[in-house]
Amino acid sequence: MKLHVASGSGNRFAYAFAEEGVLQKDGPRWAQALRDHPAHVDGFFLLNAYHPGQPWVMTHWDTDGTETFCSNGTRASLALLENIALEKVSCYSNQESVFLKKTTEGVALHFPEDDRMGLFHVPLDLPNPHRFGFIGNPQLVVLIDSILSVDLPSWAPPLRHHEIFPEGTNVNIIEMIRPGEARIRSYERGVERETACCGTGCAVAGAWLSEMTMCTSWKLYTAQDPVYITLSSIENGRWTNLWLSGPIRIEEPIDLELS
């Protein structure tokens, strides 16, 4: 079967539409089949048909087969819709209610705001400042003087599997350049390696940077394309009007069959 491929700020995903005959129950198998595929994608999306005026429903699985919300893949899915003239597209992505809109940077995603979402303190014995966030998935962000000096594939797994996080966590390291600009690297749970860009990790990092500096607009430099984080405010760890934006691209489709 030919799977569509699109990327958001270098984070690459394979997609299938439900109307193409892919079943929801087979989503984990498709995702796991992609784990060692030479296309080097970071997850699999099953997209329901889009009907204007109704929320677009989609489901994402990491390449270990775990179902989880993914913001970059949700953003990139808009590249697969042709002739979309709407200013804003409503989505249910892994049961999270989000909005997509086209911007000068590419496509922006507006994150949910409810009692689950926000920044929280966790008692980790780390020498560096750190903050934990939940944004539809768990994100640990650690402030480092020089992120390029860190052997992230070795450094991140003990934190990713730390007992304080019962469901595990994504691990992000950030280096502040100046107010409004920072560098970031991310080790993603479920992919179990460093990826080019974790959108939800960038959003939590941007929210924390805003909390620390009161600067509410950030350009984050990733391994590939930069992403942009904006928010209206953050108080007591709770954000309002949090957006992630960056470029999206359609890439060459891949052929894959389930064994």
Gap between the Cα atoms of 101 and 78, Å rounded: 9
Is residue 83 pLDDT above 80, yes or no? no
Q: What is the pLDDT of residue 107?
A: 95
Percent of the chain surpassing pLDDT 70: 98
- 85: confidence class by pLDDT, cuts 50, 70, 90: low
- Per-residue pLDDT tens digits for 23-77: 999 999 999 999 999 999 999 999 999 998 899 999 999 999 999 999 999 999 9
Mean pLDDT over the full length of the chain: 96
Strand ranges, E, within 76-223 = 89-93, 96-103, 106-110, 118-120, 130-134, 138-143, 170-178, 181-188, 193-195, 217-221
- The residues that bridge with 175 in the sheet, in sequence order, are 183
φ/ψ (deg, to 5) at 184 = -145, 145
Is residue 86 pLDDT above 70, yes or no? no
- Per-residue pLDDT tens digits for 196-242: 999 999 999 999 999 999 999 999 999 999 999 999 999 999 999 99
- Please, what are the domains in the chain? 2-105+248-255 (3.10.310.10), 118-241 (3.10.310.10)
3-state secondary structure of 33: helix
